[in-house]
Chain A
Amino acid sequence: MYEDALIPKLGVVTQIRVETPDVKTFRVVGADGKKPFVHIPGQCAMLSIPGVGEALFSITSSPTVEEYIEFSIKKCGCVTDWLHSMEPGQNVTIRGPYGNGFPVDTDFVGKDLLFVAGGIGLAPLHSVINYCRAHREKYGQIDVVYGSRSMGDLVDYKEILDDWMKEDGINVHLTIDNPQPEWDGHVGFVPNYVTELKPDISKTVVMCGPPVMIKFTLAGLMDLGFDRKNIYTTLELRMKCAIGRCGRCNIGSKFVCKDGPVFRFDELDELPNEY
């Protein structure tokens, strides 16, 4: 077989979990039944259904999981519709891992971490959060602020309730946009919730979610006195090759697929505002 980074390998979807009305989590192994590759939290992979196309997704499982990798995928177009309609046992093609990932073994070590996620934005953070939980001794306090439109739109809700919220080393703050009869937690938008919680400005913040959430959360953190060097986010641009070759995903002199998708805000300040 001809070898090139653009030629994918075969994968098998072994499990599909329904997370929300439009998000499912897919468990993928290689053709040999093993984990297809080792990744860093925050990295992505290209999944494809031949004839439909390829699309890039964050790897949501932690690198500490030895048996498989997982993706949480929102239904929004050709490839994602197809993935949502399939059954376990289906072959897909896979290539990766791509991107820089989060500095979990360098800059994050010894820091108090505040994760802020909105909607499907939890996908890239899920991997980091579980990696940090697995290496709990390396980090300070861990806080997670996670919000969605409604209770039913919270991704990984069961795992959050059963694992994260029962653990001592991690504080989870959930919120939904509007009140619901069966919800007794916080109601309101993520950015406001973050400022209400008055996080200490020594924390390292990792944000992921829709652009409006990022914008207002960032503004709130700036008002509190946070340093942009300590705030991380991931960017999403249209991608085809995911390896810095096809010329599609640059912002100025950086390729989001290769130099990102993880950026610090002080790094983004250096780039033209074109994302």
Chain B
Amino acid sequence: MKKISKAKIDELFKAISAKETLYIPVDDSEGQAAFIPYAEGLKMSEDLNTVRSAKDLFFPQVESLVNFKMDGKHIEIIDAATEKKPFVIFGVRACDARSFDILDRVFYYAEPKDSFYIERRDKSTVVTLACNAPEETCFCGAFGIDPAEPAGDVSAWQDGESFFFKANTEKGEALLAGLPLEDAADDAADKVKEDIRKITAMLPLKDLDLSKFGPGKTQELFNDPAWATLSESCLGCGTCTFVCPTCQCFDIRDFDGGKEIRRYRCWDSCMYSDFTQMSAGQPRPTQKERFRQRFMHKLVYYPDMHEGLFSCVGCGRCLRKCPIHMNIVKVIKTIGEEK
């Protein structure tokens, strides 16, 4: 294990950013945290979680795929890929670190592979940070995630004086090797971990029961009458999908800029009515079907396709951001408990 005194954290950030782009969570003027490139003077946010997850860095909200030029009957296909440079993300929480595994199964491992995503993943080094103060909206534990033991290339912990680091991968070791760190005892972060686990043991959602969900539950849950009541006031605004670290749906669109046509992909939402609209019909005609799709995908369909892994990490973002206070916990409780 390695460590650095908190007073020297800027030295550490400078050392990393001298070589690669370093993203850290920073509060904006309204106190909303987001991962942005480090520059001297920027302070790391104390917030538990950024408003949007770090998935933007691998799967950006908007991304060019390819460009075209049209000239009469002739089309020219033009490369739109920009060079992707190595980068480091510092301060990813345990839940978001798990979300990368979930996205990897869609973009990294499934055939055909997503070159854009893979390139960014391969060029990134993820430094996670244990959560000293998990909140009431956190339920990562329900998915077997331990906020005291976050994954990533490097795991980090903090106490009053220091940050502690442990490399988990070769990439992580390479990163730590070049930094101004001191050696620390292997158990240096144990006290921190213990304190975190004391808090998680008291969290209100720690016993969330997921046993009614998972692979093979489609027939049982699809026609549950609770979908109608749960979705009743959903606005279809899509906020829950945009802040969610595991939501992965996208649209592909063309923009005609005059000289060149840009084909890009951008995040889309299964909560939107035009998501599945066809000339011949609409398989999800009301918000009930769209709402059901979002939660069934996270709790049943994705686990069906991926060996039981749920596509929710309990980050609590949708609990904090939904304008009508609907969220996945209410779904799990309502549908899970009535049976």
Contacts and interface: CB of A to CB of B under 8 A. Distances in A.
Interface of A: 1-10, 50-54, 76-77, 86-87, 89-93, 210-211, 236-238, 240-241, 243-253, 270-272, 274-275
Contacts of B116: 4
A238 to B, nearest CB: 5
B280 interface: yes
Interface stretch (B31-39, B205-213, B300-308): B300-308
A246 B75 contact: no
B110 A245 contact: yes
Contacts of B256: 51
A253 B301 contact: yes
A89 B252 contact: no
Given A237-B278, A238-B277, A253-B218, A246 B251 contact: yes
A1 B280 CA distance: 37
A253 B279 contact: no
Contacts of A3: 115
B21 interface: no
Main secondary structure of the interface of B (DSSP, over half): mixed
Contact of B254 (A7, A51, A236, A244): A51
A250 B261 contact: no
Contacts of B70: 50-51
Contacts of B275: 238, 248
Interface in B263-321: 263, 265, 268, 270, 275-281, 283-284, 289, 293, 296-297, 300-301, 304-305
21 contacts: A2-B66, A4-B114, A4-B115, A5-B112, A6-B65, A7-B66, A51-B68, A51-B70, A52-B254, A53-B253, A53-B254, A238-B277, A246-B249, A246-B250, A248-B268, A248-B275, A251-B283, A252-B301, A252-B304, A253-B305, A271-B218
Contacts of B277: 238
Contact of B283 (A5, A9, A237): A237
A247 B270 contact: yes
Interface in B92-117: 106-107, 110, 112-116
A192 to B, nearest CB: 22
Contact of B250 (A92, A247, A249, A272): A247
A250 B254 contact: no
Nearest to B221: A272
B252 A246 contact: yes
Contacts of B296: 252
Interface in B192-209: none
B249 A91 contact: no
Interface stretch (B76-84, B139-147, B170-178): B76-84
A248 B222 contact: no
B248 interface: yes
